[in-house]
Amino acid sequence: MSLPAVEVHAPSRLHFGMFSFAQPGVRQFGGVGAMVGQGTLRLRIEPAERFVAVGPLAERVRATVVRFAQVRGLAEFPACRVQVVAAPKEHVGLGVGTQLALSVSAGLNAFLGGDPLDAESLAALSGRGARSAIGTYGFAQGGLLVELGKLADEVLSPLECRVDLPAAWRFALVCPGDQRGLSGEDEQVAFRDLPPVPRETTERLWQEVREELIPAARAAEFERFGESLYRFGYAAGSCFAARQGGPFAGSRIAELVAAIRELGVRGVGQTSWGPTIFALLEDQATADTFQSQLASWLPAGDKIAIVAPNNAGASVMRIDA
């Protein structure tokens, strides 16, 4: 009996901000984020005589397969062809590295006949979740996600809550073409050098989430949610001012956020280290109008895309021969 092919379609991750870091004696990092789009990263695994990775990000695929084989105790790599069919740009705040590693791990598990894996098992297999768990829970479940933060002995930060975002809402993603966010060793150095988040800031961020952001999401109160999202992102981003120069990744991003707010859009912010910023729109028609307005004065090379919330997470599909 021949092995099936497997296709994985994963969403992208928006990270709205963290609660804490470098505070002794408390949970580290934590944060809020949401999943958007469906199949922005697409992966196909099919039987082959030996393992081969093709397409964009092939080297990152191979690194994940090395870990997968080690964790599973496999004597050799699975005999398969892993192809990255499509992937967003790396290092712009969309969590591509995490979604790729999880897609490869979940896809290989399905290819070898395993049952679906929960978020913690996926994190252990793929080596993700060292700081943020948003992308891992988002891969498994989608939605708006709040995580508590990690203790030293935890594989993955516990999930505080998850809420479906209204299907009609849209996020406009604006990505300056000439910038990249921090990643890898540069990100590790940044966290090492940043000053601790003050306790009162962490408390204020949690208050915003528990009293405004989550209740507004559950009640589908668009304006309230957008204003809360902006306040949370601004306060959380200010904790990175020693590295960024302010709550956003440079003056150009800050000016773009201000310009979008002047257009009447309330829920605006930066995802992760940027440079991608998001703008929350109430429906597709409003998003189309906004895209037309913004595209007319964005510099050449800047990209704008409209995406829907993803409340389902990734899809992992066996395609029997």
DSSP assignments along 80-130, one per residue: EEEEEEE-PPSSSSS-HHHHHHHHHHHHHHHHTTPPPP-HHHHHHHHT--S
Higher pLDDT pick, 321 / 264: 264
Q: How far is CA 167 from CA 58, 212, 221, 313, in A?
A: 33, 20, 13, 14
pLDDT on residue 155? 87
The 10s digit of each residue's pLDDT in 233-291 is 999 999 999 999 999 999 999 999 999 999 999 999 999 999 999 999 999 999 999 99
Quick one: DSSP state of residue 32?
Answer: E
- Gap between the Cα atoms of 77 and 62, Å rounded: 10
DSSP 195-237: PPPPHHHHHHHHHHIIIIIHHHHHTT-HHHHHHHHHHHHHHHH
Nearest to 86 by CA among 100, 105, 106: 100
Higher pLDDT pick, 62 / 300: 62
- Gap between the Cα atoms of 312 and 141, Å rounded: 5
**What is the percentage of the chain residues whose pLDDT exceeds 90?**
83
Quick one: DSSP state of residue 157?
Answer: P
pLDDT on residue 160? 97
- Gap between the Cα atoms of 144 and 240, Å rounded: 23
Confidence check: pLDDT of 176 > 90 = no
CB 126 within 8 A of CB 105: yes
Tokens of 194: 């940043």
Confidence of residue 321 (pLDDT cuts 50, 70, 90): low
DSSP 280-306: EESSHHHHHHHHHHHHTTSPTT-EEEE
Looking up tokens 């528990």, which residue turns up? 210
Q: Dihedrals φ, ψ of 57, to 5°?
A: 70, 25
In which order are the strands placed within the sheet that holds 170-175? Answer: 268-270, 277-281, 170-175, 303-307
Contacts of 41 (CB under 8 A, 6+ apart): 8, 9, 10, 11, 12, 84, 86, 87, 88, 96, 99, 100, 103
What is the overall mean pLDDT for the chain? 94
The identity of residue 266, as a single letter, is: R
Nearest to 317 by CA among 54, 38, 71, 48: 38
- Gap between the Cα atoms of 161 and 147, Å rounded: 7
